[in-house]
Amino acid sequence: MKKRSRIIAFLLLAVLVFSLIGSTTKDITKNVKLGLDLQGGFEVLYQVNPLDKGDKIDKDAVKSTAKTLESRVNVLGVSEPKIQVEEGNRIRVQLAGIKDQSEARKVLSTQANLTIRDANDKVLLSGKDLVQGGAKQGFKDNTNEVAVTLKLKDAKKFREVTEKVSKMNPNLMVIWMDYEKGDSYKKEAKKEQQGKKPKYISAATVDQPINSENVEISGGFKGEKGVKEAKQIADLLNSGSLPVKLDEVYSTSVGAQFGKDALNETMLASSIGVGIIFLFMLIYYRLPGIVAVITLSAYVYLTLVAFNFISGVLTLPGLAALVLGVGMAVDANIIMYERIKDELRIGRTLNQAFKKGSGSSFITILDANLTTILAALVLFVFGESSVKGFATMLLLAILMSFVTSVFFTRILLSLLVNSNYFKKKYNWFGVSKKGRHDISERLDIHDLRTTFDKINFVKLAKPLLTFSIITIIVGAIILSIFKLNLGIDFTSGTRVDLQSDNAIKTEQVSKDFKQMGLEPSQVTTSGSGNKMATVQFKDALNKTEIQKVKSEFEQKFGHDPNVSTVSPVVGQELAANALKAMAIAALGIILYVSFRFEWRMGTTAVLALLHDVFIIVAIFSLFRIEIDITFIAAILTIIGYSINDTIVTFDRVRENLRKVKVIKKPETIDMIVNSSIRQTMTRSINTVLTVIIVVVALLILGSPSIFNFSLALLIGLISGVFSSIFVAVPLWGIFKKRQLKKSENGKLVVYEEKKSNDEKILV
């Protein structure tokens, strides 16, 4: 009866999980807010500067400007816009899903400073003379002619102005929106005669004084577009004028098709990657593998639920973080499953092996996850836009992987184990009868033989450490010669991404830009059949040039191009923040590992991390691969993953030190290093393999937008396994030998008893 009830409970839980996922996933994914890079849209970072010399910008002025921008965004009809006030008197505006990006840029930056002038451009009335909120879009004299009516504060003043204009030659009252120095009625009137749209809104003839408090603008609004334009002018005037100057220091616009393609490609790559991981877990771990598939499915589901709960915005790197989180969740499962297998191999019963294995693996999993959380937190604090989205998803992924892979896995596995149905079926857990020892042998899991017993890692480490040092020297030379191929995120400039249904020729693209009066510094093609092209400019294009580029190439290729601009100031800030983020992450890891283990482990762990980072940087430098802001996200992710692997090995070193207690010979340290690496080698290979599966899928099938990100991850993962095995732990061994050599009695007490209880501490 016990067998049946536990198995039924397990099956019911599994059915419940998959039923819940199947019945609600569609609604949950539908409610996920997609970022600019997944649905298209527009993002701009404004620097708020004084409109007139001598004016000062304070926090209140910036907040007031942000409110004005918010009211203008509402005019555009964007669902859930994001407007943030940032340090340094800056305002970031994100409009995901907006169709007319040129219109959005125009509406946001318009001063809404209305002036009424004569034909000689002399100011007669200004926005100060208007009644606030008195602008309306309507129709002229009950006809179908579109008009905008403005209400004035002083009808007497308007009569005096119109009387004055009626006596002029020409007797025109010209209405301007955002008149700038250099503008003139005569110049714009010539444009109008040539069939071009003038900058002024209207130029009405005044034959006699007007006794009214209302001004009517008409004649320049034609058709549906005219109605829309008239309403926009009325709304802009009602939203208030901007008493400041807004300078674009960063902007990016993503075409809807780009976003859709990026989402579809990355989803396909993610599905294939996760599917292969599921298959691997089922084949290698068997019954626990089934549990892993259930808990990993729950992990993805709960992460999306939590992401919706906090109203997160899913970006392309964020989607990658969700999938990479599967690798982290798998890691927690693998650590526990390998522990259970070891306990079974020394002769424990299935119940004993489960209790012992799940208990001893908990602290290891906790330590490994906390260091990755540290890297993710640094990313969140210092990251911007899509990088912050990546960090948010990574933090949620770590939390949910811990909940599902530690607690939910234990619940499901305990039901199977305690059913006693698998009491003697050790092969269901990946352990054969021949692979089990008798419990009477009193073996410890650290005494078990491994597949890697013939490999002397200490001996191998010496030439490989030398190889690493040579690689670093060569890398430094490469770096000094080739430098880094920094993208516009760090250098400033403009990047234009073009998409076509046919092959794009770089020569033709360069020619097209030159005809527009623009000189690109670099044009490269990519994608299947060279249907995508990236064009870079050393200088940031202005709003007019961006609008022209988008209009020209959308008409030519049928796809709205992506345009990103970064000012020199923002580029320098991003570079400084990137270095600061890596320095803080490294320092935090040293402190944490030193506190949890010892300072030698913390130091060697960070040296291994620096090795990994340098290898990635050197390879990107050698092959002239562009480094953008997502590269920093990849570096910090590798820091988290690499330290994760190193900590698991150091945790086994700590366990082996407990057995030794006192070290008298250097050979003992070599033995500890070798045995610790051998005992965790299977876990290291399996974990990195599962993550690499996902990364390779993203690299081959994912969006080109995250190709460099995925490539950096792949290099870092391979380098991370190498450094954990052949750099971090062997280096710790060298430091420990030096400590032994300097010890007074020629011996090293590595663990001692606390007086209060039997707990042992590392010395």
**Alpha-carbon span 392 to 370, nearest angstrom:** 15
**Which of 174, 191, 150, 44 is closest to 106 using CA atoms?**
44
What mean pLDDT is predicted for residues 487-511?
88
Check if CATH label 3.30.1360.200 holds for domain 111-241: yes
**Alpha-carbon span 702 to 693, nearest angstrom:** 13
pLDDT of 132 higher than 70? no
What mean pLDDT is predicted for residues 512-540?
87
Query: Helix or strand or coil: residue 567?
Result: coil
Sign for the CA dihedral angle at 263, 266, 272, 278 comes to negative
- 493-566 is classed in which CATH architecture? 2-Layer Sandwich (3.30)
pLDDT of residue 24: 93
Q: What residue type is assigned to position 55 of the chain? A: D
444-467 confidence digits (pLDDT tens): 887 888 889 899 999 999 899 898
Considering the domain 47-108 in this protein, what is its CATH number?
3.30.70.3400
Q: Which fold has domain 460-483+574-762?
A: Multidrug efflux transporter AcrB transmembrane fold (1.20.1640)
**Alpha-carbon span 330 to 688, nearest angstrom:** 10
> Going by C-beta distance under 8 Å and a sequence separation of 6 or more, which residues neighbour residue 178?
110, 111, 112, 113
| Structure-block tokens of residue 238 | 């009602």
The end-to-end CA distance of the chain, in Å, is 51
> Going by C-beta distance under 8 Å and a sequence separation of 6 or more, which residues neighbour residue 94?
36, 41, 42, 43, 81, 82, 83, 313, 385
Cβ burial, residue 746 (10 Å; 0-12/13-18/19+): exposed
**Alpha-carbon span 262 to 41, nearest angstrom:** 13
pLDDT of residue 232: 72
Angle between helices 599-622 and 568-596 (to 10 degrees): 150
| Structure-block tokens of residue 173 | 């009252």
Q: Same topology for domains 2-34+257-424 and 460-483+574-762, yes or no? A: yes
| Structure-block tokens of residue 309 | 């709960």
| Structure-block tokens of residue 35 | 């970022």
Between residues 56 and 355, which one has the greater pLDDT?
A: 355
**Alpha-carbon span 570 to 354, nearest angstrom:** 54
pLDDT of 306 higher than 60? yes
- 2-34+257-424 is classed in which CATH architecture? Up-down Bundle (1.20)
pLDDT of residue 279: 93
pLDDT of 652 higher than 60? yes
**Alpha-carbon span 340 to 683, nearest angstrom:** 12
Q: What residue type is assigned to position 351 of the chain? A: N
| Structure-block tokens of residue 682 | 């299977």
**Alpha-carbon span 172 to 192, nearest angstrom:** 15
- What is the average pLDDT score of the chain? 84
> Going by C-beta distance under 8 Å and a sequence separation of 6 or more, which residues neighbour residue 669?
663, 733, 736, 737, 740
- Give me the helices (H) in 541-598, please: 543-557, 568-596
- Tell me the domain boundaries of the chain: 2-34+257-424, 47-108, 111-241, 460-483+574-762, 493-566
- pTM equals 0.77
State the CB neighbour count (10 A cutoff) for residue 475.
Answer: 19
